[in-house]
Amino acid sequence: MDVAFCIEALEEALARYGKPSIFNTDQGSQFTGAAFTAVLHREEIAISMNGKGCWRDNVFVERLWRSVKDEGMYLNAYASVPAARAGIGRYFAFYNSVRAHSALGARTPDQVYFDEPLLAAA
């Protein structure tokens, strides 16, 4: 990820949703550099970073983002933030309502969350 893209996404999120009290991320260089942290400092947002090498801090979210990147982002070369937003939105719709998950008994997150029955085999 490029730091300019991360800053653009952060600025857009702040404009759209307002500022959070705390911003949590890993210790990737795009998030620890002066350019990115300056935006958080300017907005007086507390910075929280997972410890280096502490994959357990965010294991479920890290696994989700691995799927998003491997199955959605790396297969597409998004030309802009709006294109990325639309593509990632389509991926999350697929991830939640179409893609079966082995950890959920071959059900989708929507089926589990909304307690939808499995479709009978035709």
Question: 11-28: per-residue pLDDT in tens?
Answer: 999 999 999 999 888 778
Query: What's the CA gap between 45 and 57, in Å, rounded?
Result: 20
C-alpha to C-alpha distance for 59 and 65, rounded to whole angstroms: 10
pTM over 0.85: no
Domain made up of 1-53: CATH architecture: 2-Layer Sandwich (3.30)
Model pLDDT for residues 41-90, shown as the tens digit of each residue: 999 999 887 666 565 666 777 788 888 888 888 888 889 989 999 999 99
**Helices 81-97 and 3-17, interaxial angle, to 10°?**
70
pLDDT digits (tens, 9 = 90+) for 87-107: 999 999 999 999 999 989 999
> Which pLDDT score, from 0 to 100, does residue 92 have?
93
Domain extents for the chain? 1-53, 56-116
